[in-house]
Amino acid sequence: MSAKDCGNHGKGRRKLFRRIIACLLVFLLITLITILLIWAILRPSKPRFILQDTTVYAFNSSVPNFLTSNFQVTISSRNPNDKIGIYYDRLDVYASYRSQQITLRTAIPPTYQGHGEVNVWSPFIFGNMVPIAPEFSGSLNAEQNAGSVFLVIKIDGRVRWKVGTFISGKYHIYIRCPAYITFGSRSTGVLVGANAVKYQFVTRCSLSLPVLYLTPLVF
């Protein structure tokens, strides 16, 4: 093979490589435009969760490093999307104190939430003699004696998205609802039974989903 043939062969390889790169760039550009167009049409929004109230039936931390509690929480969820439905395949509700889980998980029945629909759930969450880390047990007693304990009602689950007849894969969803429980003379609750106190919150919850949680809808 002559030097001229080798040079032509090298130029051919470089030309093929440039064509491959150009095709990839065109494909990526078309994909990006498609995603942006579908995003603009669907205008996807995350569901909105609100902690409406919490009824406390038991909250006993008198035994060092242990907590017994019983709550009923009312949580509402609204789907703000006009063209996207939501399947809640699993939702587990529980309470935490300083990132430590203090109740068992209560499962909410699976449900489908249509466009603009609102769902309301009122599950019971409880824990009997749940161990509390020693560094948290002291602060919990101090806060309760001071008249206010900050808890977080958490919901962990899996959801799917529905657009027309298309249903996406499952995605993890994490919801966090702040709840201030007051005691004694500082109590803002309403007595609803012999030993039950109801607290009205209407607190908006934070919600975490993967950043590209609706990307599969494009494909």
Residue at 23 is within a domain:
no
Residue at 17 is within a domain:
no
Residue at 195 is within a domain:
yes
Tens-digit pLDDT profile for the chain (219 aa)?
A: 554 555 555 566 777 788 888 888 888 887 776 666 666 555 678 899 999 999 999 999 889 899 999 999 999 999 999 888 999 999 999 999 999 999 999 999 999 999 999 999 999 999 999 999 998 988 998 898 888 999 999 999 999 998 888 888 899 999 999 999 988 766 788 888 778 899 988 899 999 876 445 554 544
Tell if the pTM clears 0.85, that is, is over it.
no
Tokens of 84: 């996207």
Residue at 8 is within a domain:
no
Cβ-Cβ contacts under 8 Å for 17 (sequence gap 6 or more): none
Q: Into how many domains does the chain fold?
A: 1
d(CA 100, CA 134): 12
Residue at 28 is within a domain:
no
* Beta carbons of 184 and 149 less than 8 angstroms apart: no
d(CA 25, CA 20): 9
Closest CA to 79 of 207, 218, 216: 207
Q: What is the residue range of 181's domain?
A: 42-218
Q: Assign residue 214 the CATH number of its domain.
A: 2.60.40
Residue at 158 is within a domain:
yes
d(CA 190, CA 182): 11
What are the phi and psi torsion angles at 190 (to 5°)? -115, 130
- Buried b / exposed e over 89-117, threshold 16 CB at 10 Å, is ebbbbbbebeeeebbeebebeeeebeeee
Residue at 155 is within a domain:
yes
